[in-house]
Amino acid sequence: MRNEIKIFSPATVANVSCGFDVLGFCLDTIGDEIVVRKSKEKGFRITRIEGFELPLNPLENVAGVAALALLNDINLDFGFEMEIYKKIKPGSGIGSSSASASGSVFAINELLGRPYTRHQLTHFAMKGEALASGIEHADNIAPALFGGFTLVKSNAPIQVLELPSPKALYATLIHPEIEIKTSDSRAVLPKQIPLQLAITQWANVGSLVHALHTNDYQLLSSALQDVVIEPYRKGLIPHFDSIKKQSVLAGALGCGISGSGPSIFALSEGLATAKSVEKSMRDVYSKSGIPFNTYVSKINSKGIKIL
Ligand SMILES: Nc1ncnc2c1ncn2[C@@H]1O[C@H](COP(=O)(O)OP(=O)(O)OP(=O)(O)O)[C@@H](O)[C@H]1O
Ligand SMILES: N[C@@H](CCO)C(=O)O
């Protein structure tokens, strides 16, 4: 059995417009690298973090909290240490915290000879995610650990459904360089919603799942709507309405807030359209003076990869 592992832990898009806290998909080209090795000393240490300033103290880092949740469940006479090479900016809305929490437990599980299922790993990683957002949710963790599109049917016990990813589907993202913490963008949400909006939203979730199963891009497009969360959060993201309008004019099937923002995602049929959507997003933000990055990615059907 190996003593060290290096992994690529991908960025993910949670919610996918209509599926707040339940739907997500995995990106292919954006992610962190993590190295984990066994150590003689028991417990868990983070020895190095490059890319962004984050706490080395495992109790203050989502990777550490997730790892300790797993290690508390198993009796070992050795421990682990971790190096994190962070590429996903914390607070970006593309699952920065989830990449660390899920990568951490995935890597430890591999070094232990895979005693845990991906459902059990999701449970441990959620403990880390709770440190970042104040609530245990798995809509970023599930796509990172399972790959593709996922639906979190239940948190306790954790049940993740793996949905199909139509081959021609591409994601375009714009990440405005402002930080929105998940905890802050949850604070603006109402505690109750009108029944009529709930009906529209759950009809869209069901339609989106059906569209993925049947490769029905027209249905997918009509289901990529968020009548519950977006109206409250879009004001936190400069030029959100323009990005959405221009993306759809450029051919996107739909466009919405990625996770809790500020990143915005669009889904398109075909790489050429996804690139046109990227150009339309860049045109909107170029005039704004706000620094930004854009990405085009296919859907990553595998999730976390061993390097
Ligand atoms: N290893 C880590 N990686 C990223 N963020 C971390 C980590 N450890 C602790 N944090 C904290 O978590 C917060 C970022 O998580 P948050 O959920 O707000 O952003 P995100 O993961 O980019 O967004 P989203 O979940 O909407 O995609 C920051 O306050 C950051 O300091
Ligand atoms: N479902 C979560 C994802 C962000 O972590 C939210 O939108 O708050």
ipTM > 0.90, yes or no = yes
Residue 187's Cβ-count burial label (10 Å; 0-12, 13-18, 19+) is exposed
Do 32 and 101 reside in the same domain of the chain? yes
Which of 128, 144, 163 delimits the end of a domain?
163
What average pLDDT score do residues 252-278 get? 98
304 inside domain = no
Q: Full-prediction pTM beyond 0.90? A: yes
For residue 162, indicate whether it is catalytic: no
For residue 172, indicate whether it is catalytic: no
For 181, phi and psi rounded to 5 degrees? -75, 140
> What atom of ligand 1 comes closest to residue 101's alpha carbon?
1
Element (H, E) at 286: helix 271-286
Residue 186 in contact with ligand 1 by CB distance below 6 A: no
Closest C-alpha to ligand 1, atom 31: 54
Do 49 and 19 reside in the same domain of the chain? yes
Which of 129, 145, 163 delimits the end of a domain?
163
Q: One of 12, 33, 122, 129 is an active-site residue; which one?
A: 129
Whether residue 165 contacts residue 149, with contact meaning beta carbons closer than 8 Å, is answered with: yes
Do 225 and 110 reside in the same domain of the chain? no
pLDDT in tens, 75-112: 999 999 999 999 999 999 999 999 999 999 999 999 99
Element (H, E) at 269: strand 264-269
Does residue 220 carry a pLDDT above 80?
Answer: yes
Which of 163, 189, 214 delimits the end of a domain?
163
For residue 134, what pLDDT is reported? 82
128 inside domain = yes
CATH of the domain at 276: 3.30.70.890
Whether residue 264 contacts residue 237, with contact meaning beta carbons closer than 8 Å, is answered with: yes
Q: How many domains, the chain?
A: 2
Do 141 and 179 reside in the same domain of the chain? no
CATH of the domain at 69: 3.30.230.10
Report how far ligand 1's centroid is from the alpha carbon of 290 (Å).
21
Residue 281's Cβ-count burial label (10 Å; 0-12, 13-18, 19+) is buried
pLDDT in tens, 125-171: 999 999 988 888 899 999 999 999 999 999 999 999 999 999 999 99
- Tell me which residue range forms the domain holding 178: 169-298
What average pLDDT score do residues 55-71 get? 97
What average pLDDT score do residues 201-219 get? 98
Whether residue 14 contacts residue 26, with contact meaning beta carbons closer than 8 Å, is answered with: no
